Structures are given as C-alpha cells and as structure tokens.
Amino acid sequence: MGEEKQVSIAILGAGGVGRCFLQQCSWIIPQYPNVSLVFLSRSNRSIRVPTWDHVLSLDTWEKDLAASTDPAPSPQELLDWFGTTENEIILVDNTSSQDIAAFYPQFLKDKITVVTPNKKAFSSDLDLWKRIVENAYPYNPDAGFLYHEASVGAGLPIISTLKDLLETGDEVQKIEGVFSGTMSFLFNNFAPVEGKGGKWSDEVSKAKDAGYTEPDPRDDLNGVDVARKLVILARMVGLEIESTSAFPVQSLIPTELESCSSGDEFLERLPAFDDEMEKVKAKAEEKGKVVRFVGSIDVARQAVEVGLKEFDKGHAIAGLKGSDNIISFYTKRYGSNPLIVQGAGAGGEVTAMGVSADLIKAIKDVHGWKKVR
C-alpha cells in the first residue's frame, strides 16, 4: 500500500457557531489519523501552518489567532495556497459571507470538499445554486464533496432526510413546518396551547434577552431567514425558485417601524402595536386554534409560502415547546401520516453539531479512513 495522504482542514469563521465548532473539533480531529487543522480565519485576521507538515493547535487557537497580524486572505488567495499541496483539503465555512459562498464552485471544481451552514450559498442566486451543484460530487465525479446539513434546521437532519427520500425514489408532495427557533419561541409563549400568553412586545424582548434573536429582532421578524431555508428545500425537490422574493413572505414588522435606526429603538416602539398581534391571536382562539409562523412548500402547485397560519390545538405544530423546530415531509410513501423531524433548531452548540457531523462524513468520504479505536 502507498503512503496515505493527509487531510488538511481549513476553517473560516471563529465566532458564534465557529467557536462552538472548534471546541467540538478538539474532540473529533484527534480520533482520525492524518487529519489536521492547517488554517483558521475570522473577518480581519488569520493563521496558517508555515509548511504543510505542520499543524495548528486546537488548544491554543484563540490566543494564536488574537496574536496574528496576518489578514484574512481572499477566496482566490486561499485557493491558490491550497494548490501548493497534494493533501486532501476540507474547507469549513462557518461564515455568512456571500463572497465566500460565490466561490464554492471554484473550490469544488478544484477538488476542495466544502462543509458549511452558510444559507446564502444555497438560497441566493439560482445560477449560483446550479453552479455549486454541478461542480460538486457526484454531478462532477472529479470534484470535491459538498455538505450543508446545518443550512436548514441547525443540527436537525433535515437536508439528509430529504436527500434520503429523494434518492430512494419517494415522491415528495409537501413540506411544512416551523423553521425558525426564534419564531417558535415567540409563538409558543405568545399564543400557548394552554394559558393566555404574554404581550407580543414583551415576548420579543424576552427572546432577545435569551439570545434567540439577532441583535436587531427585525432580522428575525421579517421572515427572510425562514424564506432562505424554504428556498433551499424547494430547490432540492426540483422547484426553480429564483430567490426569497419569488414567493409570499409575511413580515411581522409594523410598517411604521421598518425605518427604526436600531434594534433598541424598534423594541421601545413595538408595544404601541401589541393590539394588532392580540387581534391575530384572538381570531385563532375564537376557532379553538392557535397561530404559528410556518413555512410550506407545495410541490404539485409549485407554491412556497412563509407566514402566519392557524392550527388546531392538537396539531403537532401547535404543541411545540421552547425553541423547537418541526418539519413534516408529506410523501407518496408516507401518505397522510408525514415523516416528522423535530428538535432544537437554534443555538451555537446544536448548529455546530450539524457542521461537525458533516465534517466527520467528509473525512470518511475523502479518504475512507476509520476512527482510531
């Protein structure tokens, strides 16, 4: 047998999900022979091995990165550096950068395996989506592998479940669910199955304080994050959705507050609009139902929708707890009893777990190595 190649891992993004991922890497990478970390960057700096037979420390990465004066390279500069080794390269992109996402086709074409939770790569321009897919294995048998489980549902097996359904010949008819941990938390507390629930503005403030929203809650309440996830799944089932603006996306931001200069100003003024959401809740309660923020894909009608919908209190979507996501796959095989995936759909640790699980798959696929016992 010839000498086994090294697998070199390059990681983009070291904050939030990236930090949790690096913590998990310190347990994962030592379990596999000939696998090492060779590059790490955040927005304004980077560290890399001086030669390809060196490794970066997973114990001191934070101190080493803080001490570095090397800027983060451009995607092209990174690709050029990858070209100086015969090692197998796995690029883990934990950023939300559109520029990096736009470079995925080139990375894949050059046999760089890509692991990422970056939704922008798969939900923005339709042409970019097609070029990514066409330049990844198995469509291009000489290309790198592509893994993006955590682009939908954090660590939940949404992407892999849908792939399994499609690749085994099932016919997906409809996908529906709560795709946002933020929206789940908000509506489970605002309009619970049992009890009255709190005021809308209070629940939004609580969600922000608990870390479930973006610094500016409008980035969650506009529905775009859910829409991006629906675009990804819709494209996987064969719908050529151009962008998130190609279908109805209901925003929960009052028109008068769209121009607020900050998230703090938005939260200060939001109580004046509580009555509007109370009316929405009361209308559902009159029918013995609750309101939830959901996304749906009707494959036959080629229709994608994101917004508020009423559910019977006994429905699985109505009974969610905390910030759980729930996604129902209605298919020809499963009939009227959908395949349901449910669990925590937000948070750095669970999102990083989805990325870490993809990394393990990538390590095994690029060289077929087994874990050290």
Report the alpha-carbon distance of residue 91 to residue 196 in Å, rounded.
48
Q: CA torsion sign, 338 to 232 to 151 to 370?
A: positive
DSSP secondary structure string, 125-190?
A: -HHHHHHHHHTSTTTSTTS--EE-GGGTTTTSSHHHHHHHHHHTT--EEEEEEE--HHHHHHHHHH
SS3 367: helix
Answer whether 257's CB lies under 8 Å from 273's CB: yes
Report the alpha-carbon distance of residue 320 to residue 336 in Å, rounded.
20
Q: CA torsion sign, 158 to 164 to 165 to 167?
A: positive
Whose CA is closest to 9, among 66, 88, 68?
88
Report the alpha-carbon distance of residue 25 to residue 226 in Å, rounded.
28
Catalytic residue, candidates 229, 281, 289, 309: 229
Answer whether 366's CB lies under 8 Å from 111's CB: no
User: Does 283 participate in catalysis according to the annotation?
Assistant: no
Could you give the residue numbers annotated as active site?
Answer: 229
